[in-house]
Structures are given as C-alpha cells and as structure tokens.
Amino acid sequence: MLSLIKSFVKGRSEQASFDSVFQGKFIKRLSVERLLEPHQDMVDELRVLTGVPDNHFDYLYLHPLHKYIEYIQLAPASESHHHAELGGMVEHTLEVLINALRLRRGQILPTGVTPEEIEQRKDIWTFVVFACALLHDAGKLISDMAYYDDKGNAWGLLSSTPPPSLYRIKYDPARRHKFHERLAPFALYKVFQQGHVDWVMSDNEAWFVLVSFLTADFASASVVADIVQKADQASVVANLGGSVNDAIKRPVQTLSLSERLLKSLQQLVDTDGIGINKQGAVGYIDGDYVYFLVKPMLDKVKEKMRDQGMSVPASNNTLMGELQQTKVVESNGEKATFKVRVNVGDWQQDFSVLKMRVMKVWPTKRPAENSAIRVIELDEQGEPKITSHVAEKPTEKPVPVVSEPVVDQSIKASEKTVPKSKPVSDKQPSGHSSDKKDALRVNTQCVNDEDSDIALADELAELDALLSGNQSKDADKESDFSEYADDSLVLDESDIEEWSSDLIANDGAEDAGKDVIDKPESDNRAVLMDEINTQVVEGPRNYISRYNDEALDTAISFQDLDDPGAQFIGWLKTGLKTGALPLNVPGGPVHFVKEGLLIVSPQIFRTFQSETGIGWSQAQRSVTKSSRKINLKTPKGENMFTYEIQSKTGRNKDIGQIKGILIPKPAERLGLQLDERNEWMRLVED
C-alpha cells in the first residue's frame, strides 16, 4: 500500500504538492516497528557504522531514533520538493544518518588534538554527528507542518497533548523559509534523554559543536556541519534523480571568508587568545580603533580557523585584501596596512598594523580602557600624521576626546557587526608574550609586510579575474541546482578542496609558524572527489575492502619530494637499511609483522620530527592521505591498528598492546629486505 501511494505521489509531484494531493485524507497512526520495517537494512547498517556494542547502540542510537520516528509518522520531508510522499521524512532521515556516518568514517574528529586523544573521544564525536543528522529537519515539525485530528485540532512537536491516532498533515503556507533550522534545539529533550546530553556535555568541544549546529550556527559547527550538510544534499539529489557525485562536488554556502576571519578574531579576543593593551601585545586600543600587528594577528586567526576545521588561504596578502575589500579593516589609501608608533608608558615601538573599529571586534562589550596606551599613525617618512585622530590628543592638558573620528561616509554606512560566539573549548591559544625582546622581533617581521603591499594589488586582480571567470563558466550549473537550496548550504571552493583532500589544515603547535597549503594537487581532485562519492553510495565494508585491495597494488611514490610524507618515507627506508631505526625491538618504533610493516604512531613520527625538524603531525597526515593508499585501513575505516604483544613468560599480566599504521608488502613497495618477522605480535581483530 505504501509503495503504491509513494509511486502515485512521485508521479504527481511536479504538478501538485503533498497538501493538495492528500488534503482531507486521514492516516492511521502506526507503530515504530511498522514504520521502520521497510528500512531495516538501513538500521542494520547504522549499527555497523557506529561501531559500538549492541547494548550501547540500543541506548545511544536506537532509542532516540525510535522516539523521533514515533513523532514523524508518515510525514513527508517537504511539501513539493524532495521526498514529498507519505513516509518521506523517515526515509530521508535514515538516508542522512547513513550518509553522515559514512562520511564521518573518513574524517578526523576532533581536530587539532593528538592521535591518542582522537581515539579516546571518537565515540562521543560519532554520537554528535548522529544527533545533528537526526535532528537536522526536526524544526519542520514545529514551524512548517502540523498534524490535525478529525476534530480539527492541530498537534506539533511542542504540543503538550499526545499525538492524534488519526491525523492528516498540512503545511503552513505562511511558514518562514529556513526558520526550521533554528528550532532544532527545542527537539533535543523531546528525542534524547538526559544521560545522552550529559555524555556530550562531558566533552566541552563536542557540546559546543552540537549546540552550534542545532542553533544553525554552522560556521562554528565547522567539520560536523559540513558532514551533515553533505549527507543531506546527497539524499536530496538522489531522491530527485540527480547525480550524487555532482551533489558532493557542489560547493555549499556558509559564511564568507571575511566573516569567518572576523568571527575567529572575535573568539580569540574573547578568550584572551590574543594579547591586548599591554607591552608586547598583538593589539592596542586607542579611542574608537584597535590596531593589530599584521603577521601575529593573522597567524593567530589562521591557526584558530584551522583548529576548527575551516580552510583558510595561507597568504597573508590574500587575507588582507579580503578584509580590506569587505571593509572589515580600515583602508590606508590603496593599502590595508598602517604604520604606527605605540606608546605604553615609557615603552615605545613602531609597527605595521591593521586598523579596525573597536565595535567590530567587540560588538557587545567594549574592553576596559588603558590610559597608558597611545597610538600615533605615521606617514611614509615615519613622522606623525597631523590628521590622525590620536594626534588630536594634547600631551600637556586634557580636552574632551573626539568619540567619532572623521572617516569616509561610504565606509561608515556599510559597516556591519558580527555577533560574538563562544569559544569551541577551554583549550585556547595562549596570549602574545609580553617579553620586550619578543615584541621587537615580531615588529621586524611586521614592518617587512609593508613591502608586500605592491604585490597585493596584482594578486587581488588575478583573484578577481579567476572568480569572475568561474562564475560565468558555471552560471548554468548554478541555476540547475537552485532547487536544492532549501535543504543545503554551500561551501566555498576552498572548503570543498580541503574536504576532498581529507586534510586538517591545523599543523599543531610545533608547526604554528609554517605556511600550510590547503589546496590539494589538481591532478588528484577528480580521484579524491570520486572517493568521497564512493563512501556515500557504497557500504563501509565494501569501500574499505576495495581500498585495501588497491593499497596492496599501489606503488608508494611522491611527485613532490619536499612533501613531509615523502621525506618521512625516505627517512624510514634509510633508517631501516642502515640500522639507525631498530626493527622488532621491544618498545621500538618499527615491527615486521605478518600483515606488513607496523610503524608505531605517533612515536615514530615524533622521532622523525626530533631528527629532521619537520612537524610530526603534518608528516603523519601526508602518509595516511587516502588518495596515496600507502597504508591499510581497519574494518572501521581507521588508520590505527592494534597489536597485542604476546608474553614471553606466559603470564597474562605481561601482555601489552601497541597501536600503529600498517604498510603492506614492504619488500615490494619500499624495497626493504626484512628477514625476520616479530612472532610475538598478534593483530587484535575488531
């Protein structure tokens, strides 16, 4: 019966909405078991994807899923768009859950922490992805549609009365577009139990991401938001008969680059991640403006964005151009930078700075004044500008401070503030050192940035031409996908490239001063996007099996010999051939086991860093990059295998475990002649 109704509705979906087809038709309330019966294979796959014991799966995943399906009943997912048939929302919800958990398998969560911490927190982050995916459309049961009983009484998710046993569904013609995205928090305690919420709250960062997603703050939810939005988009496009591969490639819109930069800066100053108003600080407030040292501030902001899984251009010139064009920073003629002299009591120093209005950085609460600070803008010859607002301050007798400096009216009219958001976690970057020597060293770097302003104009012109060309070239494609806008956001091109490369751009504290290239090699783009699409449309076991088969037959090679992964592989081969790296030694970093070469991680990568100075996390990510197929993956799609060290004494208490990355066929793929296997190592099967 359901299949006949679905076929009927799909056949008429182009001519009529769900409302017009089923208006006046009453539906009998069904049990959850009956509603899920046609989709049991999807529920079974959820059990596999979560990777937890059955009793944990029933409590953490199955209970909230059943509760939500009980509310949904046979509602459509949309009135006349995708899944616009009886039972459409159940089907769409399950598809989004499956897609999201498949994509989560290929993503490191949380970002910016050690592999050991990732292992400890992986289950709670998988649960957060599940919760966000489950509730992504829950607001529709509050704002978009209502269930009417045979007496005309309306019921919604927030109603205090029980749902009607006989109901008909009607969409509100006056509903607000995308308003439902902001209502998901109201469904949290309707679907999940207090124990679920308490568990997520035990991880501050996971709790922040969950709340950010449910309140439609997708920029703060970063990687998790990307996962769920991709999963949602794949389900929508597949239902409408489109190409899932095109849907995965299609960018999804979040905040613009300048908005993301400003938001990250606000988070940093709000949590003391950037030193303000003291000798040796990164920012100095004087009057209605704050002056940020160029390189230290931009480096801090880039580090913050990468810690949250956002992509960001490596070039500071590109960032300054974006901030200047969008009027986030003040313009100094054609340049974005100002030269200033900062006085803090008896201390004085000249800097190259970005100038911003205080209200843009602190939109709700202005920081306390420091009367000892005075900032003087300088001209090209290093002399104080007469027209500078700070020059109006006399040095001998006080006069009223001019609260509104004279600025270009077009700039004033277009200024907007971005609401301040809470930090992702308690672990924030430390403030700038107050040591005077550090301040002088930073100043030398910042003043040199002024010399690059000439190159900035050419770079921005080239960027504008590139963007213009892309827009005109893809204009038709954009219009073709406009119907999907209701159910997906759109990432900018750099976000998609970072997603497809399977890289987290944060390099860790040891690489904080190094530039990171977010964009993967163009030759690998199609391959990488195909891999993501494969993860969406294939089951995890089939995908992992195919990946491991390909890894066995793929030669280990790097086009760029300066790549950290290439340098690590060369170092590894040399160390094993010369004996500098001990093999099969208790507590050692490398073991020749039955399945291949086990390199103990992160131990071996830290040794590599200590000997070469190359960041260990950067090398580790390069080696395990999916497109290179250097190492095998576990049945759960992870890079780390667990091996049990058998006791030579026969006593169980002497048995230990180690984790590492497994490189198969080392003789063929690395040219290593390894004679003796470690017979005391046994793979622990999942």
Q: What is the pLDDT of residue 388?
A: 41
Q: What is the mean pLDDT of residues 655-666?
A: 87
Tokens 């006399």 correspond to what residue?
Answer: 394
373-378 and 166-171 beta bridge pairing: unpaired
Q: pLDDT confidence of 549, banded at 50, 70, 90? A: confident
Backbone CA torsion sign across 412, 418, 420, 424 = negative
Per-residue confidence (pLDDT) for residue 322, from 0 to 100: 80
What pLDDT band is residue 409 in, cutting at 50, 70 and 90? very low
3-state class percentages of the chain: helix first, strand second, coil last, to nearest 5: 50, 10, 40
What's the CATH architecture for 17-249? Orthogonal Bundle (1.10)
Q: In terms of pLDDT, which residue wins out, 327 or 418? A: 327
Confidence at residue 406, expressed as pLDDT on a 0 to 100 scale = 40
In the predicted model, what is the mean pLDDT of residues 375-383?
88
Residue 433 has pLDDT above 50, yes or no: no
397 pLDDT tier (thresholds 50, 70, 90): very low
569-580 pLDDT, tens digit each: 999 998 888 888
CA quadruple 625, 627, 632, 637: dihedral positive or negative? positive
- Give me 587's structure tokens: 């507590």
In the chain, CATH 1.10.3210.40 sits at 17-249
Is residue 471 predicted with pLDDT exceeding 70?
Answer: no
pLDDT of residue 541: 61
The per-residue pLDDT for 631 is 93
Assess whether pLDDT exceeds 70 at residue 434. no
Is pLDDT at 287 greater than 50 in this prediction? yes
List beta partners, residue 342.
Answer: 349, 375
Instruction: Output the pLDDT for position 662.
Output: 94
Mean per-residue pLDDT, 346-356: 91
**DSSP letter at 410?**
H
Mean pLDDT of the chain: 74
Arithmetic mean of pLDDT, 33-57 = 91
| Cα 487 from Cα 76, distance rounded (Å) | 14
- Arithmetic mean of pLDDT, 198-215: 94
Residue-level pLDDT at 455: 45
Max avg pLDDT among 103-107, 146-150, 201-205, 257-261: 201-205
pLDDT at 130: 97
Query: Is the pLDDT assigned to residue 282 strictly greater than 80?
Result: yes
Residue 538 pLDDT > 80: no
pLDDT single digits (tens) 120-163: 999 999 999 999 999 999 999 998 889 998 888 999 999 988 89
- Long-range interactions of 503-507: CB distance < 8 A, separation 24+: 503/621, 503/625, 504/108, 504/111, 504/112, 504/306, 504/309, 504/621, 505/306, 505/310, 505/311, 505/312, 506/111, 506/112, 506/303, 506/306, 506/307, 507/306, 507/615, 507/617, 507/618
**604-659 pLDDT tens trace:** 998 888 888 888 888 888 898 877 889 998 887 788 999 988 765 555 444 578 88
Check pLDDT > 80 for residue 307.
Answer: no
Q: Is residue 556's pLDDT more than 50? A: yes
Looking at residue 131, what is its pLDDT? Answer: 97
According to the model, what pLDDT value does residue 121 have? 92
Report the pLDDT value the prediction gives residue 297, as an integer from 0 to 100: 92
Higher-scoring residue by pLDDT: 130, 172: 130
590 has pLDDT over 60: yes
pLDDT at position 646 is 76
b (16+ CB within 10 A) / e for 239-250: beebebbebbbb
Q: Best-predicted range by mean pLDDT among 290-294, 390-394, 403-407?
A: 290-294
Q: Which residue has the higher pLDDT, 598 or 83?
A: 598
Per-residue pLDDT at 436: 38
Backbone angles phi, psi at 541, to 5 degrees: -65, -40
Mean pLDDT value of segment 407-428: 38
Q: Is the pLDDT of residue 17 over 60?
A: no
User: What is the band of 211 on the pLDDT scale with cuts at 50, 70, 90?
Assistant: very high
Any idea which of 13-17, 70-74, 256-260 has the lowest mean pLDDT? 13-17
Q: How far apart are CA 54 and CA 97, in angstroms?
A: 18
Helix (H, G, I), strand (E, B) or coil at 683: strand
Give the pLDDT confidence score for residue 513 in this predicted structure. Answer: 37
Query: Which pLDDT band, with edges at 50, 70 and 90, does 292 fall under?
Result: very high
Residue 26 pLDDT more than 80?
yes
The band of 58, judged by pLDDT with boundaries at 50, 70 and 90, is very high
Over residues 442-470, mean pLDDT: 42
